[in-house]
Amino acid sequence: MTNDLTGSTALITGSNSGIGRAAALSLARLGAYVVLSGRDAGRGEQVVAAIRGEGGRADFVAADLADEASARQLARQAAELGGGHVDILVNNAGIFPFGPTHEASEADFDRVFAVNVRAPFFLVAELAPEMAKRGHGAIINVTTMVAEFGAPQMALYGSSKAALVLLTKSWAAEYGPSGVRVNAVSPGPTRTDGHRGHGRGSGSAGLRRAVRPAGPAGGDRGRDHLPGQRRGQLRARRGPARGRRPDRGLTRPVGSRGPGVLTCTRNA
């Protein structure tokens, strides 16, 4: 294993902010040439400037990932910018319109699955075969803790990410024997601009309250029914203790400044 990614090209979707931005900064600091993508060119260029300001190499490619053509075109542009290859793909872009199932429209359903499932599928379809031919490569899919259990008002988002979990396993079986590593990271609530205002109530405390898993009858299953959850993780899910800051217990994205760096663990 080596932490030197010099000579590698990394493509990170949804890298204008949050976890994607932090991943881009981290990979650039390890020597990778980073291709960032997103819909907001202005914010993307700000991240590029931050990477270049630290001596790294990066470029931004605008992409909405609304269909197969957009995903495949992004993959081809990234490979061209990277000297003919993409060695690391981070499928981070995602949308999360939380809300009751009965209020979701067909357009909402199509939009969520287009970005959260279809785009990663065709990015992998375009890039993984070339990785396999070269005998190396890494694919990282950013999922969510609510892909692992039922949570109120998260059926649409959670089911799309659960599909990505299964795709991760399938791609690992398909391309792993050729030297391509395929993994998923499943973070819990993370302090980013994107999570603000989601969940019951506002801010991070509301989001944490919203992700309590439901049991068979729709009630809280309780700590005894959460295999793999540690006490500290449960504290972050239940909400802040009295007198603490409302965002205490949330992690920061990898590569962000300050304490609380997120490590890539399931159900963190």
**Domains, the chain, ranges and CATH?**
9-196 (3.40.50.720)
Which of the two residues, 241 and 59, has the higher pLDDT score? Answer: 59
Stretch 144-170: mean pLDDT: 93
* Sequence-distant (≥ 6) Cβ neighbours of residue 58 within 8 angstroms: 24, 28, 33, 34, 35, 36, 47, 48, 51, 52
* Sequence-distant (≥ 6) Cβ neighbours of residue 186 within 8 angstroms: 143, 144, 145, 147, 148, 165, 265, 266, 267, 268
Query: So what's the pLDDT on residue 96?
Result: 80
3-state class of 175 per DSSP? helix
The pLDDT-based confidence of 69 (bands split at 50, 70, 90) is: very high
- Assess contact for 86 and 186: CB atoms under 8 A: no
11 beta partners: 35, 89
266 beta partners: none
pLDDT in tens, 79-107: 999 999 999 999 999 988 889 999 999 99
Helix (H) or strand (E) holding 231: helix 231-238
- Assess contact for 160 and 114: CB atoms under 8 A: no
pLDDT in tens, 249-258: 444 444 444 3
Residue 157 annotated to the active site: yes
pLDDT in tens, 98-136: 899 999 999 999 999 999 999 999 999 999 999 999 999
Joined tokens for residue 176: 């792993």
Instruction: Please give the Cα distance from 179 to 168 (Å, whole number).
Output: 15
Helix (H) or strand (E) holding 68: helix 68-81
**Which one from 149, 157, 171, 175 is the annotated catalytic residue?**
157
Joined tokens for residue 31: 């020597």
Instruction: Please give the Cα distance from 82 to 72 (Å, whole number).
Output: 15
pTM here is 0.74
Mark 132-167 as b/e (b = at least 16 C-beta within 10 Å).
Answer: beeeebbbbbbbbbbbbbebbbbbbbbbbbbbbbeb
Query: So what's the pLDDT on residue 127?
Result: 98
Query: So what's the pLDDT on residue 264?
Result: 36
Burial of 177 (0-12, 13-18, 19+ CB in 10 A): exposed
